[in-house]
Structure 1
Amino acid sequence: MNGKIVGSFVMVTALAAGAVLYYLQVYGYYQPIPATAPGAELRLTSVASGQPEPILADSFEGIDAETSPLRYRGCFHTPMSLALLTETYRVYATPTPLIAPGWFECFDASQIGAALETGEAVAFLSEENIRPGVDRVVAIYPDGRAYAWNQINDSLEE
C-alpha cells in the first residue's frame, strides 16, 4: 500500500515538473519587443563602412528573452528594394534560421530557410557579435517581407 502512495507521488511530481519545464521553455521567458524598443531598430552592416546602419522598416513584431541570446526573432516589412540592399549591405554567407516558438506565428524558420536555399530571399548581416559569438541576421524577400534572428558565428571556435 505504501509503495502505491510513494509511486503515485513520484508520478504526479514528475508530471508537474515536466509541465513547468515545458511552459518555461515555450512561453515563460519570451517577452514581446515593442516597436519603439532598442531591439526593434533594424540595422544592416554597410559594405562601405563596415558599421551597422538603420534601415527603413515597418510592421515590426518581435520576441526576445534574457535567458539566451539566440531567442531573438523578428518579423517586419521594408520598402527598400532587394537590388539596393545587396549593393549597399553585407550579404551573410551562412544563414541558418532558428525555429521560433509555435505561438510566434509570423516566423517560420523552415520556410525562410528554404527561401534562402533557393535564392528567393537574401540574408544580410545585421550586426556582427551582437553578443560574443552571436550575429544578428536578416533575411529579406523581394516583396519586402523580412525576418531577423540571432545565430552563433565562428568567432568562439579555437
Structure 2
Amino acid sequence: MNGKWVGAFLISAGLAAGAFMYYQQVYAYYEPVAFTPGAEILLTPVTGGQPEAILVNDVTGTDGESSPIRFRACFTTPTSLATLTETYVVYEKPEPLIAPPWFDCFDAGEIGTALEQGRAVAFLSVADIRPGVDRVVAVMEDGRAFAWQQLNGAAE
C-alpha cells in the first residue's frame, strides 16, 4: 500500500514541476512593451547616424528582462518597401525567433518564409541594442511588419 502512495506522490510532483517549468518558459517573464508615441519603431538610415522613427500603426509588443532576445513586436506601416529599402539599412541575415504561443500576431515561420521568398525585407533597427544583440524589423509587401532581437555574431 505504501508503494502506491510513494508512486502517486512522485508522479504528482513530476507533473507539478513540469507544469511550473512550462509556465516559467512561456508566460512568467514576458511583459507588454510600452512604446513611446512617435518613436515606436526605429530604423538605421543608409547614410549613417542614429536610428530614426518610421511611421507605424497598431503597435503591440512583448519583452522580458530575463533574456535580451525575448523582444517581439507586430505593427503595420504605410511606407512602401521601395522607400524603406532606399532609405534604411537592409539586414543581411535575419532569423525571426519563435514567439510565445499567446503572442499570436508574430509567426516566425511565416516571416522567415516571406523573407526567403522576397515577399518581405529585413532592416536593421538598432545595432547592439544590448551587447551582441541587434534589433531587426521585417516589413512585408502588404505593410504588415514585425520586430525582434537576435544575436549578431559578436555574442556567439
TM-score bracket, normalised by the shorter chain, equals: over 0.9
- Alignment partners' CA distance in 2, 1:85 and 1:45: 10
Structure 1 residues 100-122: Cα deviation after superposition (integer angstroms, max 9, x where no partner): 11111111100000000000000
Aligned ranges for residues 36-55 of structure 1 at < 5 Å? 36=36, 41-55=40-54
- Equivalent AA in structure 2 for residue 111 of structure 1: E
1:78 Cα deviation (Å)?
1.0
- Following TM superposition, by how much is the alpha carbon of 1:49 offset from its aligned partner in structure 2, in angstroms? 1.8
Please say if residues 32 and 61 of structure 2, whose CA atoms lie closer than 8 Å, have aligned partners that are also in contact: yes
Question: How many percent identity over aligned positions?
Answer: 62
Which position in structure 1 is the counterpart of 2:115?
116
2:21 is paired with a residue of what secondary structure? helix
User: CA deviation digits over 1:13-47, x for unaligned, max 9?
Assistant: 11101101111111111111134489x72100111
Q: Which residue does the alignment assign to 2:137?
A: 138
- The 1:18/1:94 distance shift into structure 2, 3 A limit, reads same
Q: Give the Cα–Cα distance (whole angstroms) in 2 for the partners of residues 116 and 86 of structure 1.
A: 14
The residue aligned with 1:153 is: 152
Matched AA of 2:25: Q
Q: Which runs of 5+ in 2 are unaligned?
A: none
- Residues 71 and 14 from structure 1, CA distance in 2 versus in 1: closer, same or farther, beyond 3 angstroms? same
Aligned partner of 2:71 in structure 1 is 72
Q: Determine helix, strand or coil for the equivalent of 2:20.
A: helix
TM-score, normalising length from structure 1?
0.92
Following TM superposition, by how much is the alpha carbon of 1:81 offset from its aligned partner in structure 2, in angstroms?
A: 1.4
Q: Counterpart of 2:24? A: 24
In the alignment, the residues of structure 1 paired with residue 44 and residue 144 of structure 2 have an alpha-carbon distance, to the nearest angstrom, of 18
SS at match of 2:69: helix
The number of residue pairs the alignment matches comes to: 156
Equivalent-residue separation in structure 2 for 1:47 and 1:61 (angstroms) = 26
Matches of 2:35 and 2:51 in 1, distance apart?
A: 19
Equivalent residue for 1:93?
92
Whether the aligned pair in 1 keeps the contact of 2:133 and 2:155 (CA below 8 Å) is no
Q: Deviations over 1:102-151 (max 9, x none)?
A: 11111110000000000000000001111111111000012211000011
SS at match of 1:104: coil
Q: Which residue of 1 aligns with 2:60?
A: 61
Q: Which runs of 5+ in 1 are unaligned?
A: none
